[in-house]
Amino acid sequence: MKIPVIFLTILLFFVAADAIRGLKNGRCDEVYVVSDGETLQTISEKCDSLFILLDNPHILDTDDVVPGTVLLIKST
């Protein structure tokens, strides 16, 4: 019984480490939901995406980006 628990713990560690590495490398999910305090600039830097406005025609102005806005992110 202890072997599956140890295996799952190790597996969880590697999955979490990969997720952290992904964030450090500037990868974001393809669909991104804007959080409080974020701007197009901070999202662009965080996700390594230069063309957020071009990929999201529903964003007509930077003021249209509010918490809860859904963006399509394509890393460059």
Extents of the domains making up the chain: 2-72
- 74: confidence class by pLDDT, cuts 50, 70, 90: confident
CATH top-level class of 2-72? alpha beta
**Model confidence, pTM:** 0.61
- Residue 62: pLDDT band with limits 50, 70, 90: confident
CA distances from 12 to 7, 9, 72 (A): 9, 5, 28
Angle at 24 between CA 18 and CA 26, to 5 degrees: 105
